[in-house]
Amino acid sequence: MKVGMISTWRIPCGVAKYTEELCYELKRLVDLTIYAEEVHPNSQEDLPIYPETETPFKYFRDWKRGENYDRLYNDIILDMPDIIHVQYESAMYNESMFSEKGLLQLLNKLHEAGIKTVLTLHNVPEFNPTSYYTGWYEKIRSRIIVTNELMRKELLKWEPEALATTIPLGSTIFTCTDKTEARKILNLPQDKYIITQVGFYGYDKGMLPLIEAMPKILEKIPNACLILAGSIHPLAPQVHRDYVKECIKKAVELNLQNNVKFTGKFLTEGEINLYLSATDIIAINHQYVFSLYSSSASAHRVIASGKPIIMNASDVRLSEFEAGKNCIKSTNEELPTKIIALSKNFGVQQLLCKRELEYAYKTSFPEIAKRHLEVYKS
């Protein structure tokens, strides 16, 4: 079976990293070609996720957001795959929401050529019958993959006849470095109780409430330190940039320069592993603010770390995570209390880590790839 994957690829992007990990496993099951977004400069070309085991991918850089898809279509027709699979995130293909052109036109041309199509939706907007989206989900005429059940329910409000399959985002399996060694490598203090959030900085990541919680946490955990391990996305809109400035300002106002660390850089896979190895608690304090049902690659990226996770209870997007099972859920107001309590309860920490690892292996990329193959065959 020949499959073509349209996605961002080897750039600072959660969808790109997810696609690469998925494709490492998919290419064991199908004849796979990548149709990648053209970027300038191609700074990540030589940074594959698994350089020591990589076998070459066949891929083209032949499309660019906001432009037509003529080169992409021509490359696809030359190769003639059985299925084209689009990793769809609305900001990447935004022009297709408002016209018959763009991605929708490409899908129609592929169908006319006898090529079947699959779309993984990385977000689904809240249903609004007056929205520009009305009718678009019907017109794409594709098999749909969503990443959790709440996304599927929202999709069916837009298009009740949608052929939708729920496949969670894959979880990265890795072996942690010894905590002392990881801190030594990263030049982090050995005597701190570290709380870490991994991922791109932004308005929806709940960084400010985490910073504001630190004074109360420090009253009970005097050696507490919050690490925000990541950076602003290169294409982030101004609202995210203003938010990060507000976070830095708040940390200074609260005199937390020694207790809040902004790494401020795009982390390699190895660096992410080290920060997760070095931490005591992982925070996923994402906020539901943009009226989009989605999932989070960074949330799945950390779940195999063997560290207890505390997660924002109001973020309905991460419905695949269950309170008391593979995470502790907290409101912004409860963060100090919940983090302090979790830090003192070793038994709860052990139970959470055990269940997190069970979930991680259940949703590992080899397992997720098999579920994609089932969709392709159907």
Please write the tens of the pLDDT for every residue from 302-342. 989 989 999 987 766 666 777 778 889 999 999 999 999 99
Same domain as 187, residue 76: no
Peptide bond into 41 cis (omega under 30): yes
Average per-residue pLDDT in the chain?
89
CA 339 to CA 246: how far, in whole Å? 23
Query: DSSP characters for 352-370?
Result: HHHHHHHHHHHTBHHHHHH
Position 50 scores a pLDDT of 59
Q: At 117, phi and psi to the nearest 5?
A: -130, 145
Same domain as 239, residue 163: no
In tens, the pLDDT along 256-307 reads 999 999 999 888 889 999 999 999 999 999 887 777 888 888 888 898 998 9
Same domain as 370, residue 358: no
Domain boundaries, position 125: 2-170+365-377
* Amino acid sitting at position 229: A
CA 6 to CA 354: how far, in whole Å? 36
User: 340, 217 in Cβ contact below 8 A?
Assistant: yes
* Cα dist from 332 to 173, 214, 286, whole Å: 29, 12, 10
Q: How many domains does the chain have?
A: 2
Same domain as 159, residue 69: yes
Same domain as 83, residue 55: yes
User: For residue 249, how many other CB atoms are within 10 A of its CB?
Assistant: 12
Q: Cα-Cα-Cα-Cα dihedral of 32, 370, 115, 160, to 10°?
A: -140
Q: What is the CATH number of the domain that holds 89?
A: 3.40.50.2000
Same domain as 106, residue 92: yes
Same domain as 50, residue 136: yes
User: 139, 104 in Cβ contact below 8 A?
Assistant: yes
Mean pLDDT within 11-31:
90
Position 72 scores a pLDDT of 95
Q: In the block, which residue shows the tokens 């602003």?
A: 232
Same domain as 86, residue 65: yes
Position 343 scores a pLDDT of 96
CA 48 to CA 90: how far, in whole Å? 25
Q: Cα-Cα-Cα-Cα dihedral of 227, 230, 232, 234, to 10°?
A: 170
Residue 42 has pLDDT above 60, yes or no: no
Residue 98 has pLDDT above 50, yes or no: no
More confident of the two residues 28 and 95: 28
Predicted structure pTM score: 0.88
Q: How confident is the model at residue 46 (pLDDT cuts 50, 70, 90)?
A: low
CA 121 to CA 118: how far, in whole Å? 10
